[in-house]
Amino acid sequence: MTLDYPALPGVSESLKHVTEPPYSFFMAIQDIYPTALRLLGRPVLVVGGGPVAERRAKGLLDAGAKVTVVAPVATQNLHALAASGLLTLEQREYRTADLDGVWFAQTATGTSAVDTQVAADAEAQRIWCVNASDHEASAAWTPAVAVVDDVKIAINAGGDPRRAMALRNAVATALETGDLPLRRHRKPDAAVNAGSVALVGGGPGDSGLITVRGRRLLGQADVVVADRLGPRELLKELAPDVRVIEVGKTPGHHPVPQLEINRILVDEALKGNRVVRLKGGDPYVLGRGGEEAEFCRQNGVEVEVVSGVTSAISVPAAAGIPVTHRGLAKGFSVVTGHEELSEVPARPDHTVVLLMGVAQLRDSAAALAGSGLPLDTPVGIVENGYLPDQRVTIGTLGTIADQAEAVGVANPAVIVIGDVVRVSPFAPQHFKTADYSTITPNRPRVRSN
């Protein structure tokens, strides 16, 4: 019988024409068949006691293998692992009988002759063995490995370990940042895994300001319960079968009551779904995240809270306004426009940040003035922070309400009250500080004639 195959790049002409059984054909340049070994409870052998052997032994222990290390000399960590009963350490030279009953072997002696002998003995017994001294002659290769959640990445790169590690790191980073999908498609039994809820702070709206952890969880989600604010652009990147439940609120209009939002989170998790509650800012900064987390725990649902970049600090920063600045302000208070301001220090050197405060701006300014805050205290309003339509309005406590009405300031907006507004590049020239030194307190710059 004659089998003829077309010529392929890199394939020897002698392999094209096969005339004798067994009929075989090398369809790839490298004769590697990627697989994963399940070594839980199975005996394995590591020959060698140096740092490489130590790393390989730890990896095998992580896989649940019963590890025996054979070496005349071993590292302190290998001795410690043996003393704790996690592995067996035989301090002697290698013997062929060490391979009896072994499922897998790893050489790492640093001596080519010994590694070659172990590999040859393993080959004779049909035991897979990694020969650390000669990767070309090795029956198996150890890949560069990374673990992201329950995903294990293993990369071989033609026997080039540094190349494999670089590729592994790149793939792991892409998974960790949500650039590659980590979402499960084969769902576990709901009776075994009742799903989970993650309260993810998405920051002030720009998709680049969500944390790496938040982005990863969003990429794993089966259901996303979304607010009106936050990184809405990321919703477009979700897989088509990910359900998005809109529960966004606007001032004075709550189409989905908070109790209903709580119920949605629990019900979806109990169906076995990974649920992400995507919020603007930080879940625990005036975001009712504490209520949602408590409700989940009361109903037996696992919940994780991922902090976000709160708009109380980040949105002022988008306009160049620090909430503290040496010589101008050492502390700050964050309140909503719905709260009483009588307890807030009425001093220009204590920054007041108002969230959701546009509708009550005139009343809030009057309340602060009534508490003793000077009417010439600088005030900045930042609308749509970090977004293309960001707008900054700067005035004083005595003028800001009229200015806001004149230009039509609207939510979402953050209001900053205090001397720190002077630092903003958007501040009028006569607002700006004389310098940014930290030796002496800054003073307003005197306008020259």
* Catalytically active residues, by annotation: 227, 249
Sheet with 302-306: list strands edge to edge: 243-246, 223-226, 274-279, 196-201, 302-306
Place of tokens 């001795």: 79
Which of these, 264, 271, 272, lies nearest to 199 by C-alpha position? 264
Phi/psi at 141 (5° precision): -115, 145
Token pair for residue 292? 């949602």
Count of C-beta atoms within a 10 Å radius of residue 364:
27
Q: How much of the chain is in helix, strand and coil states, percent to nearest 5?
A: 30, 20, 50
* Helices assigned H by DSSP within 158-233: 161-176, 212-220
List phi, psi (to 5°) of 127: -110, 130
Taking alpha carbons only, the member of 106, 15, 22 closest to residue 69 is 106
Strand partners, 393: 381
Rounded (5°) CA angle 368-372-378: 60
Cβ-count burial of 382 within 10 angstroms (0-12 exposed, 13-18 middle, 19+ buried)?
Answer: buried
Give the 3-state secondary structure of residue 50: coil
Buried b (16+ CB within 10 A) or exposed e, 159-197: eeeeebbebbeebbeebbebebebeeeeeeeeeeebbbb
Cβ neighbours of residue 246 under 8 Å, at least 6 residues apart? Answer: 226, 228, 256
